[in-house]
């Protein structure tokens, strides 16, 4: 059976937008900006978190924590090995994002590393050894202008 999520209204989306700018923003500040009671904001956020619509996490800046090599890698998978590849990649700490795609590649993954050499090792010694991986294309991210989760 498909997972169900609560219906979101404009207030839910407004609260989420505030938390996107600062996940630690006090409920009283959000309530004041939206002209609602603090208890309303608290209950809405609790409902969004409990229903797994919202997750509040710390997102470090990769460059500032010594992971200045950021790349997107398109991966071609042969046969029925897609799920196996995803499961293996999910276990790799340097892999920050995995998405199934249409077009040239079957997967797009985002990685952060401490050096280009480490990226080279990942692509040549880890990625290429995953069952079903028949090709990849790596693009280094030179500068990030906007990042949202």
At 17-33, the pLDDT tens digits run 999 889 999 999 999 99
Dihedral sign from CA coordinates of 119, 97, 136, 131: positive
In the chain, where the domains are located: 10-50, 69-140
Report how far residue 95's alpha carbon sits from residue 109's, in angstroms, rounded to the nearest whole number. Answer: 7
pLDDT (0 to 100) of residue 148: 66
Instruction: Assess whether pLDDT exceeds 60 at residue 1.
Output: no
Residues with Cβ within 8 Å of residue 89, at least 6 apart in sequence:
95, 98, 107, 109, 130
Least confident of 16-20, 53-57, 71-75, 142-146: 142-146
Q: What is the DSSP string of 9-76?
A: -HHHHHHHHHHHH-TT--HHHHHHHHTS-HHHHHHHHHHHHHTTS--------TTTTT--EEEEEEEE
Domain 69-140 belongs to what architecture? Answer: 2-Layer Sandwich (3.30)
Instruction: Assess whether pLDDT exceeds 60 at residue 136.
Output: yes
Report how far residue 98's alpha carbon sits from residue 76's, in angstroms, rounded to the nearest whole number. Answer: 13
Report how far residue 78's alpha carbon sits from residue 132's, in angstroms, rounded to the nearest whole number. Answer: 5
Do 69-140 and 10-50 have the same topology in CATH? no
* Mean per-residue pLDDT, 125-149: 89
Look at 147 and 43; give whichever has higher pLDDT. 43
- Decide: 38 and 27 in contact? Cβ < 8 Å: yes
Q: How confident is the model at residue 63 (pLDDT cuts 50, 70, 90)?
A: confident
In three-state secondary structure terms, 90 is helix
As given in the structure block, the two tokens for residue 11 are 């207030």
Q: Under CATH, which number does the domain 10-50 receive?
A: 1.10.10.10
Q: How confident is the model at residue 43 (pLDDT cuts 50, 70, 90)?
A: very high
Report how far residue 20's alpha carbon sits from residue 14's, in angstroms, rounded to the nearest whole number. Answer: 10
- Decide: 6 and 47 in contact? Cβ < 8 Å: yes
As given in the structure block, the two tokens for residue 142 are 């030179």
pLDDT (0 to 100) of residue 149: 59
């Amino acid at each position: 059976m498909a997972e169900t999520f609560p219906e979101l209204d404009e207030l839910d989306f407004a609260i989420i937008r505030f938390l996107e700018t600062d996940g630690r923003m006090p409920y009283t500040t959000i309530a004041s900006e939206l002209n609602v009671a603090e208890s309303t904001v608290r209950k809405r956020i609790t409902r969004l978190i409990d229903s797994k619509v919202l997750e509040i996490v710390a997102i470090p800046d990769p460059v500032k924590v010594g992971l200045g090599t950021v790349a997107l890698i398109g991966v071609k998978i042969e046969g029925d090995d897609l799920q196996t590849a995803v499961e293996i990649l999910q276990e790799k700490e340097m892999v920050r994002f995995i998405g199934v795609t249409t077009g040239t590649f079957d997967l797009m993954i985002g990685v952060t590393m401490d050096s280009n050499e480490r990226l080279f090792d990942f692509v040549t010694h880890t990625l290429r050894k995953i069952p079903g991986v028949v090709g990849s294309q790596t693009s280094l991210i030179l500068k990030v202008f906007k990042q949202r989760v």
